[in-house]
Structure 1
Amino acid sequence: MTISVYGMTVPIFTRMLTNLLAVMDKAEANAAERKVDTLVLSNMRLAPDMIPFRGQVMIATDHVKGCVSRLAGRDVPSWPDTEETFDELRARIRKALDLLATVQPEDLDGGDTREVTLKLGGKDVAMSGQAYLTERALPNFFFHVTTAYAILRHAGVPIGKRDYIG
Structure 2
Amino acid sequence: MTISMYQASIPVFLRALDNLSAILDIGAAHAAAKQLDPLVLTGARLYPDMFPFSRQVQIACDMVKGGAARLAGVEPPPRADTEKTFAELKERIDWTAAFLRRFDAEQIDGSEDRPIVIRTPFGELHFTGQRYLLGFVLPNLYFHSTTAYNLLRHSGVELGKRDFLGPA
The alignment's TM-score, normalised by the length of structure 2, stands at 0.95
Aligned to 1:127: 127
Q: Deviations over 1:116-156 (max 9, x none)?
A: 00114542232211111111111011100000000001011
Consecutive unaligned residues of structure 1, counting only runs of 5 or more, are none
Taking the aligned partners of 1:37 and 1:8, their CA distance within structure 2 comes to 38
Identity of aligned residues (%): 46
1:74 maps to 74
Pairing 1:4–2:4 present? yes
Q: Match of 2:8, SS?
A: helix
**What are the equivalent positions in structure 2 for 1:1-166 lying under 5 Å apart?**
1-166=1-166
The CA distance in 1 between the partners of 2:81 and 2:37, in whole Å, is 21
- What is the one-letter code of the residue matched to 1:160? G
Give the Cα–Cα distance (whole angstroms) in 2 for the partners of residues 121 and 95 of structure 1.
Answer: 26
Cα RMSD over matched residues?
1.0
Give the superposition deviation at 1:13: 0.9
User: Where in structure 1 do 4 or more consecutive aligned residues deviate above 4 Å?
Assistant: none
* AA in 2 matched with 1:60: A
SS in 2 for 1:61: helix
Q: Distance in 1 between matches of 2:109 and 2:30?
A: 43
Amino acid at match of 2:62: D
* 1:157 to partner: Cα distance: 0.5
The residue identity in structure 2 corresponding to 1:21 is: S
Q: What SS does structure 1 have at the residue aligned with 2:39?
A: helix
Unaligned runs of 5+ in 2: none
Q: Determine helix, strand or coil for the equivalent of 1:117.
A: strand
Q: Which moved more, 1:66-75 or 1:30-39?
A: 30-39
Tell me the secondary structure at the aligned position of residue 102 of structure 1.
coil
* Counterpart code for 2:144: H
SS at match of 1:126: strand
Which whole-Å CA distance do the structure 2 matches of 1:89 and 1:156 have between them? 20
Report how many aligned residue pairs link the two structures.
166
